[in-house]
Amino acid sequence: MTNPTAYFRLARVGWVLVREGVVTELPLQELPASARFLARVVGLFARRRKPGEGRSARLAHAIERLGPSYVKMGQFLATRPDVVGVAIAEDLSALQDRMATFPMAEAKATVEGSLGRPVSDLYVSFDEPIAAASIAQVHPAVVRDKDGERRVAVKVIRPGVRQRFVHDLQAMYAASHLQERFLPHTRRLKPVEVTRTLEQTTKVEMDLRLEAAALSELGENTAGDPGFRVPKVDWERTGRDVVTMEWIDGVKMSDIEGLRAAGHDLNALADSLIQSFLRHTLRDGFFHADMHQGNLFVDPEGHIVAVDMGIVGRLGRKERRFLAEILFGFITRDYVRVANVHFEAGYVPSHHDVASFAQAIRAIGEPIHGQPAETISMAKLLTLLFEVTELFDMETRTELVMLQKTMVVVEGVARTLNPRFNMWKASEPVVGGWIRDNLGPKRILADLRDGAHAALRLAEAAPEIAAKAEKLSLDLSAMADKGFRFDEATAEAIGKSEARHGRAGRVALWVIAATLVYIAWVVS
């Protein structure tokens, strides 16, 4: 049962979206006529637009008014165009995670509480914040060790952000449950599961030890890679609420003129960026899932340095093979194979026709071969893909959608460096090599090796499985002899509980309705 206070929070969210004119900009075509009429009515309460203010600006302003939790939710939904639509996802991608800084005294108290030592013992200097986001802010500092003094960046969690997120999350769950109940056609997108994923990813992002671990893992994976690295972590000065890492002296990838002035080859950087991302994805199954320009630097040696690894993605071997098979199928125009891969992986329900799905895939793939490669937009391809998968009831695959969205972002960054960037040509050395190694004879050997390991583990567990099966058999026999007890007192208790919950829900809905009427009366 949803906490009734969640509906009050949800009412506030709705009111802010109405006032900022966001509701009338949402895609309403699939909603019932009554819902479209209601959207037009509430649009009368929207504030007057400022000159030149577009949908993206109004959406950003609304989310910033709602607070840090909703900034983070907006960034998360930017990775889910299948849920919010490609246009809204693009607007959310431009959402700036810039918040007001919190006082130095609170930052130092957080550091000392997390690490158990005075700031003066940990750092030679600890300076004012240079950037603040929804979850944390960054301070420049200096540390001294056996090798002398060195500059570091210290990321400190925002005080009270965890408690605020827990409360706001209740409203998000209420909205997703209402969506599943009243918009049945959206159930395939699993809104409750999407909210649960947001909850999990944000909890991970709020434990800075896990971000440090992600930096460390990606650092090990890419130790021998050309042209890419991540900052080194100072584990002595890292805890749940603070992470200390190497200071990066470099040019932000958003500063195109700065990159040119530093003598960097922009075309080579574009190729290196997409190759690095695909290498992490296909080879390692672990990738930075927030690779926008603000999180990418180029150091004096020309290496791309990725920071802020609060959001990461993982792909298992099955998903990596699925991705490679699809890429290979598009490249070779084998659309039947692409369709079969979707069915084999269980991504498309079996009651659909493979040939019909292959026909739909062909409608996406053929334009690729009819245009110069540098004119093909991954964003447009994904728009078509989402439309097709909706027609065939393909359920949301969180890990694949996050990968697809990150690929769009990386491609966009590469095109700012090189407007004629050919993603397919740049990707071939990595994708082609992985396909040759994993879809040929080496794949068969790897499958045989994995099968042998699985059989060995099963043999080792056989005695334990047999013992559990015997115990289950005895328990079932006992239940058959003695019956399953379900007396009148138990039935009565369940009935009272259900009635109590039903009354609470009805009271909450009436209170919310009264509140909304009052708000409308006050502003009218």
Q: For residue 405, what are the contacts with CB-CB under 8 A and spacing of at least 6?
A: 78, 79, 80, 81, 89, 382
Selected residue with higher pLDDT from 298 and 189: 298
Average pLDDT, the chain: 78
Q: Work out the pLDDT band at 173, boundaries 50, 70, 90.
A: confident
Residue 499 has pLDDT above 60, yes or no: no
Stated length of the chain:
524
pLDDT of residue 495: 61
Closest CA to 80 of 415, 413, 399: 399
Which of 104-112's residues contact partners 24+ apart within 8 Å by CB, and which partners? 104/128, 104/129, 106/159, 107/137, 107/139, 107/156, 110/156, 110/157, 110/159, 110/241, 110/242, 111/154, 111/156, 111/241, 111/242
Cβ proximity of 278 and 431 under 8 Å: yes
pLDDT of residue 153: 96
Which of the residue ranges 200-209, 270-279, 362-371 has the most confident prediction, judged by mean pLDDT? 270-279
Tell me: the pLDDT tens digits for 378-429? 656 666 666 676 678 776 666 666 777 788 788 888 988 998 887 777 887 8
Q: What percent of the chain has pLDDT over 70?
A: 73
Q: For residue 148, what are the contacts with CB-CB under 8 A and spacing of at least 6?
A: none
The pTM (predicted TM-score) of the whole model is 0.69
Please give the C-alpha separations between residue 383 and each of 85, 246, 326, 386, 488, in angstroms, as whole numbers.
8, 39, 16, 5, 56
Sort 183 into a burial class: Cβ within 10 Å, 0-12 / 13-18 / 19+: middle
Q: Of residues 82, 290, 308, 393, which has the active-site annotation?
A: 290
For residue 290, indicate whether it is catalytic: yes
Cβ proximity of 110 and 154 under 8 Å: no
Selected residue with higher pLDDT from 376 and 191: 191
Host H or E run for residue 242? strand 242-246
Residue 521 has pLDDT above 50, yes or no: no
DSSP 7: H
What are the respective helix, strand and coil percentages of the chain, to the nearest 5?
A: 65, 10, 25
Separation between Cα atoms, residue 129 and residue 155, nearest integer Å: 9
Give the residue-averaged pLDDT of 505-509. Answer: 44
Tell me: the pLDDT tens digits for 316-349? 887 888 777 776 777 678 888 888 888 887 778 8
Separation between Cα atoms, residue 152 and residue 464, nearest integer Å: 51
Lowest mean pLDDT of 22-36, 359-373, 455-469, name the range: 22-36
Separation between Cα atoms, residue 84 and residue 87, nearest integer Å: 8
Sort 57 into a burial class: Cβ within 10 Å, 0-12 / 13-18 / 19+: middle
Residue 199 has pLDDT above 70, yes or no: yes
Q: Work out the pLDDT band at 366, boundaries 50, 70, 90.
A: confident
pLDDT of residue 433: 82
Residue 446 has pLDDT above 60, yes or no: no
Q: Work out the pLDDT band at 44, boundaries 50, 70, 90.
A: confident
Helices assigned H by DSSP within 251-377: 256-261, 266-278, 317-332, 335-344, 354-369
Selected residue with higher pLDDT from 345 and 352: 352
Q: Work out the pLDDT band at 518, boundaries 50, 70, 90.
A: very low
pLDDT of residue 60: 75
Separation between Cα atoms, residue 329 and residue 149, nearest integer Å: 53
Separation between Cα atoms, residue 212 and residue 152, nearest integer Å: 14
Give the residue-averaged pLDDT of 180-208. Answer: 78
Q: Work out the pLDDT band at 523, boundaries 50, 70, 90.
A: very low
Tell me: the pLDDT tens digits for 210-225? 999 999 999 999 998 9
Closest CA to 85 of 43, 29, 34, 20: 29
CB atoms within 10 A of CB 296: 23
pLDDT of residue 471: 76
Read out DSSP for 364-397?
Answer: HHHHHHTS-GGG--HHHHHHHHHHHHHHTTPPP-
Separation between Cα atoms, residue 139 and residue 131, nearest integer Å: 8
Q: Work out the pLDDT band at 277, boundaries 50, 70, 90.
A: very high
pLDDT of residue 372: 65
